[in-house]
Structure 1
Amino acid sequence: MFAVVCLVLMAGYPVAFSLAGTALAFALGGMAFGVFDAGFLGATPNRLYGLMTNETLIAVPLFIFMGCMLQQSKIAENLLESMAELFKGLRGGLGVSVALVGMLLAASTGIVGATVVTMGLISLPTMLKRGYSPSLATGTICATGTLGQIIPPSIALVLLGDVMSSAYQQAQRMQGIFSPDTVSVGDLFVGALIPGLILVLLYIIYVVAVAFIKPSAAPAHGSLEGDEQRREVRLWHDLTPPLILIVAVLGSILAGIATPTEAAGVGALGATILAGLRRQLGIRVLRDVCQQTTRVTCMVFLILIGAAIFSLVFRGYGGDDLIHGLFEGMPGGVVGAMIVVMVVIFLLGFILDFIEITFVVVPIVAPVLLKMGLDPVWLGIMIALNLQTSFLTPPFGFSLFYLRGVAPPEIRTSQIYRGVIPFIIIQLFMLVLLSFWPELATGLPDYLYG
């Protein structure tokens, strides 16, 4: 089934229809030969109804709306110019500014495509004009754009939280435990904060190191304005709106005041108010934002439906029992099983999007790993970090496509590919750090929620 899905995707068919079509073809073929129980297909309506009425997933269109509205309000453009002024005179200062602004955009929007395109349009011409190496400039922009995958509020964490919650309950049932405990999206949000900030720090260290080892690749730049006081006022003026929005969204979750879904509503309203205060809100803008939100939301949920049908048929053929048996008998026990899963997810990231991996692969492997005793929050953050690399790995890394679409013609695709390799290595190094120190992901949730 996996092989056929990959072949159909390579042929250029849409992901959602590839998943559902392959599953239905295997189910019908199995019923014709009497090797597949039609009762599994009979569970499809209930499964899909459960997806459509899942309150957690309401956060998806709300966070998408928030990100699209912030993109229209031009917050990123003003913020980058002000942040660049703050690091003037420092080798690699503009690259550091891009990393920090990417972090703030990730914490404000949670949408990778919007961040990469915005940063590519705004910062790439400036970095090239000031003498930055094309590979370093494009790699920094692509990598910082993917921070929206791991820094909350991340749509990937919302989707992964819902899948991990189901996997956790399934793992408990495997052990004969019937408990209402679940893994919430809020747990993953809190657990991702420290790893996400460490990843930003590693990006900055790399950019500064390159600037000092090879000054011509990331030269220092001078000030764009002469008035120091005016620059400080402008910085705070541009920095305050996204910080207020971040505090409103993440602060309400961390304080236990709001669920992630309710916080998404706060973020959507806050982004609309910010756009209005900046006089960027009008009928045309509102229409465009609603159309973008509807388009992306429909794509996500259609893939979710296709993945649900695929997983049902996979279970109908006993695939989950097969995976369970393989993991149980694997050399190295839970460590060996975890390494295999991480390697498989990383390799699948070369050809599949994070949504397909989240809805197809994670529901199959996560229950078995959780049953073997892994912490659900730590496992969720490890998978999220691994999925983040799928945006950078050629040939189908979406960040590479996003930047290629807005990069100047003189930037070669090979330069973009070379630029992201060091950042892929940094992300893999972060996975190693987290595997040796799980407390980086579990410490803050344990401290806040016990």
Structure 2
Amino acid sequence: MSIEVLTLLFFGSLLFFVFLGLPLAFVLGGVSVIFLYFTWGVGSFYMVASQIWSTMGSFTLVAIPLFVFMAMILERTGVAKDLYRAMHLWFGGLRGGLAIGTLFICAIFAAMVGISGAAVVAMGTIALPAMMERGYDRSMCLGVINTGGGWGILIPPSIMMILYALISGVSVGKMFAAGILPGILLMVLTAIYILVRSSLQPHLAPALPPEDRGTMREKLLALRSVALPILIVIMVLGSIMGGITTPTEAAAMGVLGALIAAAVYRKLEFGLLKEASIRTFKLTGMIMWILFAAHAFSAAYQSMGAQPMIEGWMASIPGGPWGVIIAMMLITFVLGMVLDPVGIMLITLPVFLPIVESLGFDPIWFGILFVINMEIGYMTPPFGFNLFYLKGIVPPGITMKDIYKSVIPFVLVEIVGLILLMIFPEIVTYLPNLFF
């Protein structure tokens, strides 16, 4: 059987079973093991076991359950509610101010928790009703929360970046440093869009009346709510950038910060720790199974000899090396509409990374572009995770169609940011080169 037919059967089987709704880890691992058996026989299983064994010895993996545990604790502390009160007072006097304040809170949450979805649930519960009560347009509110909620996988610490580093072999610390400026860029671009549109269409995001803006004393007192989140960010990112801890050790610092926050808010009790621990075990177990499946997939893909064929296909794309990168971004964008971001990462990266490196591009830079595409995937119809998180907490009058429509302009803003990072790669590489 020719390599072309074998490759089509392999990837076709993967997509077929994924679209049937079967668990990704078992589809990826099961199909890969079957193809390995018929390609190389029983002996090929030892190769998969050897790769898994070597990965399980990686100290970096310890960061995943720690960051997940930190996120599970912070979700229930009340930090988000106090942060929103502060942003409400400081930004409410601007047209679109509550929306911009919500973006800032999402960015702070992203810098604390490392996963997408936490900010969507928190802001959907707190900020959405508050903005709509004050005359904000429904689409504006939904789009802001969807966009900001996705930054959890871009602004470090990020579990998606840890997985990328494990698959690609790049430094986790460099990935974390590379994500900071792109995260700020996307936040600024989105805030500019809100300001411009609010100025042109004031009815979409009106400024709060003077009586709702608070006194200067209230504003200054509200700033206390920012202290704990900043402390946690400094404990995690500051310790990495300062060379005090590794990313894994910084995850432990983050857990300590989350426990301090829970204690300050008087939520540190056995029930909280028990629930957070159980959810952490479940999510970490899922991630580990996906990693096992990824090794089986990588072994099957390499054993079929598909790499030279894929490289040949990519070489035929017009536009040279940049044409190849653009094609990869388009493929990732389309897959993001229908597949789980972790699944996309495990299916595409073994194919893309050798080509990216052979073309002379920086894998750190490509990794940030890839993660931004995954973030866009979280917010794009029909199967973006953030869309469904939000649908689960919005008032009954808001339909899935409303949520789908709200993300369109914000996706375009994110794409502009992605293009800027492609044109000016120094935005990504500056901090990794500075700190490492």
TM-score (norm 1): 0.91
Superimposed CA distance per residue, residues 136-195 of structure 1 (whole angstroms, 9 cap, x where no aligned partner): 111110100001111001111111122221xxxxxxxxxxxxxxxxx2011011111111
SS in 2 for 1:72: coil
Provide closer, same or farther for how the CA distance between residues 128 and 320 of structure 1 changes in structure 2, counting only shifts above 3 A.
Answer: same
Query: Equivalents in 2 of 1:106, 1:22: separation in Å?
Result: 35
Any stretches of 5+ residues in structure 1 without a counterpart?
Answer: 166-182
- The partner residue of 2:70 within 50, 66, 86 is 66
Give the counterpart letter for 2:219 in structure 1. R
Provide closer, same or farther for how the CA distance between residues 385 and 281 of structure 1 changes in structure 2, counting only shifts above 3 A.
Answer: same
Root-mean-square deviation (CA, aligned residues, Å) is 1.5
Query: Which position in structure 2 is the counterpart of 1:233?
Result: 221
Give the counterpart letter for 1:115 in structure 2. A
Query: Which position in structure 2 is the counterpart of 1:27?
Result: 36
Query: Which position in structure 2 is the counterpart of 1:112?
Result: 116
**Pair 1:5 & 2:9 matched:** no
Q: How does 1:87-106 map to 2 (within 5 A)?
A: 87-106=91-110
SS in 2 for 1:43: helix
Cα deviation for residue 424 of structure 1 reads 1.1
Give the length in aligned residue pairs.
426
Cα deviation for residue 36 of structure 1 reads 3.9
Query: Equivalents in 1 of 2:402, 2:430: separation in Å?
Result: 39
Cα deviation for residue 225 of structure 1 reads 6.8
Cα deviation for residue 315 of structure 1 reads 1.6
Cα deviation for residue 39 of structure 1 reads 3.8
**Pair 1:361 & 2:348 matched:** yes
Cα deviation for residue 318 of structure 1 reads 1.2
Give the counterpart letter for 1:316 in structure 2. S
Query: Equivalents in 2 of 1:265, 1:39: separation in Å?
Result: 40
Cα deviation for residue 423 of structure 1 reads 1.3
**Pair 1:150 & 2:150 matched:** no
TM-score (norm 2): 0.94
Give the counterpart letter for 1:370 in structure 2. E
Cα deviation for residue 329 of structure 1 reads 4.5
CA contact (8 A) 2:89 2:214 kept: no
Query: Which position in structure 2 is the counterpart of 1:56?
Result: 60
**Structure 1 residues 321-330 or 340-349, which shifts more?**
321-330
Give the counterpart letter for 1:126 in structure 2. A
**Pair 1:385 & 2:389 matched:** no
Query: Equivalents in 1 of 2:143, 2:11: separation in Å?
Result: 31
Query: Equivalents in 2 of 1:332, 1:208: separation in Å?
Result: 36
- The partner residue of 1:326 within 313, 316, 322 is 313
**Structure 1 residues 301-310 or 427-436, which shifts more?**
301-310
**Pair 1:405 & 2:392 matched:** yes
Query: Equivalents in 2 of 1:50, 1:118: separation in Å?
Result: 38
Query: Equivalents in 2 of 1:123, 1:411: separation in Å?
Result: 15
Give the counterpart letter for 2:98 in structure 1. L
Cα deviation for residue 298 of structure 1 reads 1.1
CA contact (8 A) 1:186 1:253 kept: yes
Query: Which position in structure 1 is the counterpart of 2:24?
Result: 15
**Pair 1:202 & 2:207 matched:** no
CA contact (8 A) 1:41 1:312 kept: no
Cα deviation for residue 21 of structure 1 reads 1.9
Superimposed CA distance per residue, residues 56-105 of structure 1 (whole angstroms, 9 cap, x where no aligned partner): 12111111111111111110111011111101221111101100000000
Query: Equivalents in 1 of 2:69, 2:172: separation in Å?
Result: 19
Provide closer, same or farther for how the CA distance between residues 226 and 254 of structure 1 changes in structure 2, counting only shifts above 3 A.
Answer: closer
SS in 1 for 2:75: helix
- The partner residue of 1:187 within 174, 189, 199 is 174
Query: Which position in structure 2 is the counterpart of 1:265?
Result: 252
**Pair 1:302 & 2:311 matched:** no
Identity %: 37
CA contact (8 A) 1:323 1:365 kept: no
